[in-house]
Amino acid sequence: MDSMSLDRVNEIIDKYMEDQGALIQILLDVHQEYKWILPEAAKLISDRIDIPITQVYRVASFYKALSLTPRGKHLVKVCLGTACHVRGGVGVMDRVSQITGVEDGDTTKDRRFTVERVNCLGCCALGPIMTVDGEYYGKLIPEKVDEVLENYR
């Protein structure tokens, strides 16, 4: 965790301490703050709310929104659902991988991007589509991907 402080983890636990069953809320807030559930935070949560660390990990691994590995500053989702696939989604995904150097589910070494392949982003008519931090980019061509990701450097 380098020199990152766990002060925020303590503050988040304090906020939910009174609330029974607050584990998921604590984990969500810690994830929002650090972009992943770092082992030191999992241990601190386990100690402070007095539940086994295995339970912390069980809950953390159940929810797709929670990551147990470091995530990038920006989350790139590339749609490879049927509609986007037939419109050239694979070319978009390939270009994202070329630029970032990572494949589906991975994070760049500089922790700038996490790349995920998804099955539908709910706006098939705009395919092929990708999102960066929830911002939609539709009717993409591979050449346009460079321009989009450049905005997040």
What residues line the site for ligand FES (CB under 6 A)? 79, 81-84, 120-124, 127, 129
| Least distance between ligand FES and beta carbon 64 (Å) | 18
| Least distance between ligand FES and beta carbon 123 (Å) | 5
Closer Cβ to ligand FES, 56 or 92, answer by number: 92
Q: Token pair for residue 108? A: 């760049």
Per the CB < 8 A criterion, the answer to whether 13 and 26 are in contact is yes
| Least distance between ligand FES and beta carbon 150 (Å) | 23
Closer Cβ to ligand FES, 60 or 89, answer by number: 89
Closer Cβ to ligand FES, 37 or 76, answer by number: 76
| Least distance between ligand FES and beta carbon 67 (Å) | 23
Closer Cβ to ligand FES, 9 or 84, answer by number: 84
| Least distance between ligand FES and beta carbon 127 (Å) | 5
Q: Closest residue (Cβ) to ligand FES?
A: 81
Closer Cβ to ligand FES, 58 or 139, answer by number: 139
Per the CB < 8 A criterion, the answer to whether 42 and 56 are in contact is yes
Per the CB < 8 A criterion, the answer to whether 49 and 22 are in contact is yes
As a three-state string, the secondary structure of the chain is CCCCCCHHHHHHHHHHCCCCCCHHHHHHHHHHHHCCCCHHHHHHHHHHHCCCHHHHHHHHHHCCCCCCCCCCCEEEEEECCHHHHHCCHHHHHHHHHHHHCCCCCCECCCCCEEEEEECCCCCHHHCCCEEECCEEECCCCHHHHHHHHHCCC
